[in-house]
Amino acid sequence: MWPKVRNGGEWMYTQGLLEAPPKAASAVEDSERMARFQARIDAEEKIEPKDWMPEAYRQTLIRQISQHAHSEIVGMLPEGHWISRAPSLLRKSILIAKVQDEGGHGAYLYSAAETLGIARSELIEQLLSGRAKYSSIFNYPTPTWADVAAIGWLVDGAAIMNQVPLCRCSYGPYARAMVRVCKEESFHQRQGYHAMLSLARGTPAQQRMAQDALNRWWWPALMMFGPPDTASQHTALSVRWKIKRFTNDELRQKFVDFTVPQAQFLGLMVPDTQLHQAEDGHYQTGPLDWSEFNAVLKGNGPCNAERIAERREAHAAGAWVREAAIAHAAKRAARAVA
């Protein structure tokens, strides 16, 4: 399929729904292609959709980009619940804009994943069927308004730490999507800190609310960077292919160093009795409870079932809109011909 359409003028620009590329003719050819591919990456050149790439590179990217996209989509839920209950019209407008951005980020990322030859419908099916992973952070509940503030400050803050290096990822469409995402993400973090600041400077009850939210989100936010380097499966190859530029622990440390002073400014206590500033200036945290992380990852978090159920419901409820749009488009096309 692949080579035939190439000369037929039907190349999809994004290579949308084409089948996987044909197997290399020989092992020699394969190793030559692999050497050229790696040389290009080493020279900091981008890999673009129609370039030859090792199947493992393609699959790694599909997995990572689609998980990222799913995370944005599921990430709309915990905050979306607070749109109708935001404490002021301005906070409500801000939250609507933020949640709309998350949906947009999901769409940018699905668009980037599609350039690797997988259909968006397949990716969405993976999410709805529960086979796909998404960031475990979104399986925690948002019981108070302060949780929405804490998500913006900490969760979006951690996301930025992860995402900024991805703007230089070796895969062109992913890198370009991340540039757009990062531009918008800064607003998310700042509005969160701003909301947190309002609470921290508010009544004693509001201050307690802010502290409780920090207590709930601190450790899960640190776990967003993934398992420690000693236990991470994917790091080495992803670093060689410049999909990943820094290790999980490096990014986590950077986040802690940035965030602890921000908490101090709010007058809030980071919920870690072992936290201290080491002689080298870095903040050292106490040990992370990875058994909890793994339980949430395996689907046993507080909201795993609820999130997927809600996505399915939303998808089912929107089916008539998708069908009506098709019918309407067909009718208009028929009229145009007549």
Residues forming contacts to another protein in the complex (CB under 8 A) are 6, 9-14, 16-17, 48, 50-52, 97, 100-101, 104, 107-108, 111-112, 114, 119-122, 124-125, 128-131, 173, 176-177, 180, 184, 299-301, 304-305, 308-309, 312, 315-316, 319, 322-323, 325-326, 328-329, 332-333
- Distance between CA 157 and CA 258 in Å, rounded? 9
In which residue are the tokens 């948002």 written? 142
Tokens for 312, please give them. 């399915």
* Closer by beta carbon to another protein, 122 or else 257: 122
CB of 3 to another protein, least distance (A): 9
Q: How many CA atoms lie within 13 A of 75 on its CB side?
A: 28
CB of 18 to another protein, least distance (A): 10
**Other residues' Cβ atoms within 10 Å of the Cβ of residue 70:** 24
CB of 214 to another protein, least distance (A): 27
Strand pairing category for 276-277 and 283-284: antiparallel
Helix (H) and strand (E) counts in the chain: 14, 2
Q: Name the helix (H) or strand (E) containing 284.
A: strand 283-284
* Closer by beta carbon to another protein, 181 or else 256: 181
- Distance between CA 321 and CA 162 in Å, rounded? 35
223: nearest Cα among 136, 286, 312, 284: 136
Instruction: Specify the 3-state DSSP secondary structure of 82.
Output: coil
- Distance between CA 21 and CA 11 in Å, rounded? 13
* Closer by beta carbon to another protein, 5 or else 236: 5
* Closer by beta carbon to another protein, 120 or else 254: 120
* Closer by beta carbon to another protein, 150 or else 173: 173
CB of 273 to another protein, least distance (A): 31
CB of 117 to another protein, least distance (A): 12
CB of 49 to another protein, least distance (A): 9
* Closer by beta carbon to another protein, 205 or else 317: 317
* Closer by beta carbon to another protein, 10 or else 279: 10
- Distance between CA 267 and CA 85 in Å, rounded? 26
CB of 327 to another protein, least distance (A): 9
